[in-house]
Amino acid sequence: MPRAQVGDIEIEYESFGKGEPLLLIMGIAAQMLLWHDAFCERLAARGYQVVRFDNRDVGRSTWLDGAPVPQLRPLLLRSSLGLPVSATYTLSDMASDAVGLLDHLGWSRAHIVGASMGGMIAQHLAIEHPQRVTSLVSLMSTSGSRRGSLPQPRALRALLGDRPRNADDAEAWMLRFVQTVQGPGFPVDEVEVRDLARRCWDHGNNPPGFLRHFAAILASGDRSDRLRQVRAPTLVLHGSADPLVPLRGGREVAAAIPGARLQIIEGLGHGLPSGAWPTLLDAIAGHAASGRGAA
């Protein structure tokens, strides 16, 4: 796959189709492969050049191996007490990575779609680099407010459990996680999940990157007031049954961004199951088409 040099970081990415630029940003320690190949191909077929990429510290983009590795318990304790959290980099830095990728691609602006932590990065991009954002989709994400970001304990345990150490562990970990967070409206396809876990393991597993991503989220704080600056046409997509980023988080994002529209997907938890693709693809492509005229 091609790579983009963005400052000291190399970003690995993949492109699908031809058409209007559309950038997909994935979540915490989540490789671009979680934007499934078929999902990207179907979105591209609607008239978009779709690019997915690995964030820094994950997959085949640059791992910051020399950077400090945060300790989980102190991070959680300081966050719970409302104390500042230190981090090697912030979500703003990761948004700047995305801007560097746009520069590499020759895109002056693009439709931006971010999922989970990727939605947070996309929000920072829209706040800090508004001229680069044609339209914004924030999917299963949050404004960073403490109330709107509070997960159900079972979902947090699933996310923070021991990271896999081999391909078999990776299969078991991802299956447990998906079974915990996907939501009651969409059955878990165990074969699909296991296959994706193997592909992700082969693509590149970096446990310290997960901790640095987690620290970046906590260090970046609450964006609620800054989100009022966003002028890009915005769609907020959220599952009604998301245990990891509760629906309250999506409601807060939609309330903070002027003119944002909230679409709730019944029965969806935290993830992109294939059963939800028709709804997600219609929503994303429809919003991009409407946002084009407003840009």
Task: Mark whether 116 is an active-site residue.
Answer: yes
d(CA 59, CA 155): 23
Q: Which two tokens stand for residue 168?
A: 């078999």
How far apart are alpha carbons 206 and 186 in whole angstroms? 29
Task: Tell which residue, 110, 97, 21, 105, has the closest CA to residue 61.
Answer: 97
Return the bridge partners of 16, or none: 50
**Is 242 considered catalytic here?**
yes
The single residue of 141, 220, 242, 287 carrying the catalytic annotation is: 242
Contact partners, residue 32, CB within 8 Å, separation at least 6: 12, 13, 14, 24, 26, 52, 53, 54, 59
Closest residue by Cα to residue 50 from 58, 62, 39: 39
Q: Given the structure tokens 């979500």, which residue do they identify?
A: 91
Q: What amino acid is encoded at 106 in this protein?
A: G
Of the residues 61, 79, 96, 116, only one is catalytic, namely 116
Q: Could you identify the residue written with the tokens 């446990």?
A: 207
Query: Among 213, 238, 270, 287, which one carries the catalytic annotation?
Result: 270
Q: How many CA atoms lie within 13 A of 10 on its CB side?
A: 9
Which residues does 135 contact at the CB level (< 8 Å), separation at least 6? 111, 112, 232, 233, 234, 235, 287, 288, 290, 291, 292, 294, 295
Active site residues: 116, 242, 270
